[in-house]
Amino acid sequence: MSHISVSIDDEHLESMGSVARALQDQGMQVEQVLDGVGIITGSISEERRLLLASVPGVAAIADSSLAYQLPSPDVGIQ
C-alpha cells in the first residue's frame, strides 16, 4: 500500500466529501479530508493508484510515504 496525498482542483473544493467518496469507490482508504487546503490523504494499492487520476476533481496525486529522520540532538553539527 502506498500512502498518498490527493490535491483537489479549485472547481471541486466545495464538494470534497463527494470526491473523497469517489476515491474510496476506486479503492483508496481515505484517512483525512483537509477541506481548508484541498487535500485528501490516505493509502491505496499500487495496482489501483492509476485509477484515481480519472476521478473528477483530482488535480494531482503525490506519494506521501517518504520518511524523514532528524539526527539526534546529541550528534554534533555535520
CATH number of the structural domain spanning residue 11: 3.30.70.80
For residue 16, tell me if it sits in a domain: yes
pTM: 0.80
The predicted pLDDT at position 37 comes to 95
| Per-residue pLDDT tens over the stretch 53-68 | 999 999 999 987 665 6
pLDDT at 74 over 90: no
pLDDT band for 12, please (50, 70, 90 cuts): very high
For residue 10, tell me if it sits in a domain: yes
The predicted pLDDT at position 73 comes to 77
For residue 25, tell me if it sits in a domain: yes
**Distance from the Cα of residue 29 to its chain's centroid:** 10
Domain that holds residue 51: 2-63
For residue 56, tell me if it sits in a domain: yes
For residue 69, tell me if it sits in a domain: no
For residue 77, tell me if it sits in a domain: no
Integer Cα distance of 52 and 41 in angstroms: 12
Residue 7 in contact with residue 60, Cβ under 8 Å?
A: yes
